[in-house]
Chain A
Amino acid sequence: MRRAASKILGPGALSFPTWAYAVFFFIIPLVTVLSYSFGRKPDEFTTVAMDQLSFHRYGEAMSGTFMTTFWATLLISVVGTALCLLIGVPFAYWLAVKLPSRLRGVFLGVVMVPYWTNFLVRTLGWQIILSPDGFLSRALVGMHLRSTPIDILYTRSAVQIGVVYNYLPLMILPLFVSIDTAGRALREASKDLGAGRLATFFRVTLPLAMPGIASGCLLVFVPLTGDYVTASVLGGASGGDDRPAHRQPVQHRPELGAGGGDGRHPHPRHPRRRGAGGGRGAAGPGDRQPGDPRGPGGRSLR
């Protein structure tokens, strides 16, 4: 009797509320949307009809606009992840090996600060820096390093800088942890056994850091593919695929400010489409827009 009671009230039962929440508010919605991807959109006012199941939506997602944005997203994500890795490995190595241990905690805390600053706010910081009438542009022109104002905002390069910046801490932290836990002792042993500095780095430190590299790449790549906010703030309407519409002179009119040019966002649903097509290929069928009336921008504000 006692046995049975403890079995029911054991750790398995303790996890029940957590399970219930995860099933009800994560698995069911996800599976529902997944099933919608086999449905169809009967008319303009009905979101989805499930009477005829087919793979047509996937065909649509694989074609035209969706594929273009999907490739653009993939390119930005892959390049962004690679750049984060290139910048992050020497930095994490510096943090874990080259810094005296009493400073390590302080500097790690310092790296955490941007990670925990609202990423929209950081992106706005870039918008100020990169804007053609901003201080950087003026300084460069003033020092005669450039003859014209910098023209990088609302291009693919701006988006690339923004995403590398936004996700760099996510790369640095796991890299640091893996290099730090691999330990000084193994590196010193390698040197004692006659390996040079480079050999030690490539044959001891780097292989031991592999788990950190893998989890860093995952942590950067996954959110990057679904990030439409950076793309729409720094890249104009649709994430910096270099269509001329983004670079219309209206954005550069100083009276509208760097963030001006409302016209570059003709359709509030646009960034979401890009994300849906890019994030998961066909996670959301292209022609079905849940909750059409509200764009991500929050119409209620205006």
Chain B
Amino acid sequence: MTASWEGPEMTAQGMDDVVVPAAIAADRAVPAERAGRRARRRSAVDSLFHVWGALVLAFLFTPIIVIVVYSFNTGRVLSNWKGFGFRAYVSAVNNDIIVSSVVTSLQAALGSAVLATVLGTLGGIALARARKGAWWALGLSGVLALTLTTPEIVDGISFLPWFVTLGVDWGFSPVNNGMVRLIISHAMFSLAVVTFIVRAKMGSVDKALEEAAADLGAGPWHRFTDVTLPIAAPGVMAGALMAFTLSLDNTILSSFVQQPGYTPWPVYIFAAVRVALRPEVAAMSTVMLALTLAALGLVAVVLRRTGQSTSGIVRTMAGV
């Protein structure tokens, strides 16, 4: 299905440099002739797999490459290529609305990452140290899993009347501030991610370490700051960066809870789609993409340092 319109893109992206694995050890017991036939068939199947892999990668990357390339479009309309240049970047940086929405996004991402990291670290350590079958631990895992599996649109519909109730009916004015709303709602879903990452990190560490610290005379506070936190640190850092990127990426929930003057970047793009897409949007998106990738690269490096396997890193970073 995808092949027909992916075809032309393939060579342009250099996806054909997939390395074919070394010949797989031949089956010793089989006569040479049959083994040869089998090896040929095997390599045919293998190359089919390699083709499929290259096609899927091309499918995954085409739109991103298109956006990056079109961010250098000098025309007025994004999809209509006029020529190569940095005009879009210059005018994006000089566009107050774009800059303020990016700043809003970064502030909200930072705030919600801090909030989610503090709460999630406590939660993750608590869950890792819970007795088996403790009701509060099962309940907390369940509720947090529910926050991850609830469609965002449902969260958005729930949050808005709640903020109105809190801020207008009950007079709790901080939630009338757009930034506070963004931070609270984003922290709600990244909280679960941080908690689960920290729990996974703590779960593999022997509880005896903390008991040894207690035997050596460390009080609860020192045990926490000198033993527990350093153990959890890689998980905490990965979780914090995850929370940051999740918030930066959030569109649906943000568009429900946002207040005038506090429009985050993805919501701005969504609004811009309806008017007319200009290359500025692609330019700023390319900058944000570079930022996100840098943050995630950092997470991967941190996790790699702590000796996680490739599978483990993927699982941690995808929150699965």
Contacts and interface: CB of A to CB of B under 8 A. Distances in A.
Interface residues of A, number: 115
A258 B153 contact: no
A22 B22 CA distance: 51
B191 to A, nearest CB: 6
Nearest to B77: A257
A25 B181 CA distance: 11
B176 interface: no
B188 to A, nearest CB: 5
A47 B164 CA distance: 11
A301 B97 contact: yes
Contacts of A272: 153, 157, 256
B296 A19 contact: no
Given A14-B122, A290-B157, A169 B266 contact: no
A127 B86 CA distance: 22
A117 interface: yes
Contacts of B65: 125
B67 A124 contact: yes
Main secondary structure of the interface of A (DSSP, over half): helix
Contacts of A124: 63, 67, 78, 269, 273, 277, 281-282, 285
A174 interface: yes
A229 B161 contact: no
Contacts, number: 344
A91 B58 CA distance: 12
Contacts of B62: 125, 129
A28 B300 CA distance: 36
A291 interface: yes
Given A117-B64, A133-B79, A226 B136 contact: no
Interface string A232-275: 11000000000000000000001011111010010000001001
Contact of A22 (B97, B140, B155): B140
B177 interface: no
Contacts of B249: 116, 118-119
A283 B1 CA distance: 35
Interface residues of B, number: 115
A284 B184 CA distance: 21
Contacts of A180: 310-311
A36 to B, nearest CB: 7
Contacts of A19: 123, 136, 139-140, 143
A56 interface: no
A235 to B, nearest CB: 12
Contacts of A262: 274-275
Interface string B185-217: 101100100010000000000000000000000
B18 to A, nearest CB: 8
Contact of B152 (A105, A223, A260, A300): A223
Contact of B46 (A13, A98, A108, A257): A98
B252 A296 contact: yes
B245 A276 contact: no
B251 interface: yes
B61 A114 contact: yes
Contact of B314 (A121, A176, A232, A275): A176
Contacts of A302: 271, 275
A107 B60 CA distance: 12
Given A15-B127, A290-B161, A301-B271, A168 B60 contact: yes
B271 A298 contact: yes
A15 B122 CA distance: 6
Given A116-B293, A165-B59, A121 B126 contact: no
A279 B154 contact: yes
B60 A136 contact: no
Nearest to A25: B188
Given A95-B53, A291-B164, A87 B320 contact: no
A21 B80 contact: no
Contacts of B120: 18
Contacts of A173: 314-315, 318, 320
Contact of B60 (A36, A103, A165, A275): A165
A119 B146 CA distance: 22
Interface string B256-280: 1011110100111111111111000
B162 interface: yes
Contacts of B35: none
Given A15-B122, A116-B293, A128-B79, A215 B288 contact: no
A122 interface: yes
A197 B127 contact: no
Interface in B43-70: 45-46, 49-50, 52-53, 56-57, 59-67, 70
17 contacts: A11-B131, A15-B140, A18-B120, A23-B143, A25-B184, A26-B147, A110-B57, A119-B249, A124-B269, A168-B56, A222-B151, A259-B273, A259-B275, A284-B154, A290-B157, A296-B256, A300-B261
Interface of A: 6, 9-15, 17-19, 21-23, 25-30, 32-33, 36, 47-48, 83, 87, 90-91, 93-95, 98-100, 103-105, 107-129, 131, 133-136, 139, 165, 168-170, 173-174, 176-177, 180-181, 197, 215, 218-219, 222-223, 225-229, 232-233, 254, 256-260, 262, 265, 272, 275-276, 279-280, 283-284, 290-291, 294, 296-302
Give the 8 A-B CB pairs with smallest separation, nearest first. A125-B63, A226-B151, A18-B123, A15-B126, A300-B260, A257-B77, A296-B255, A29-B162
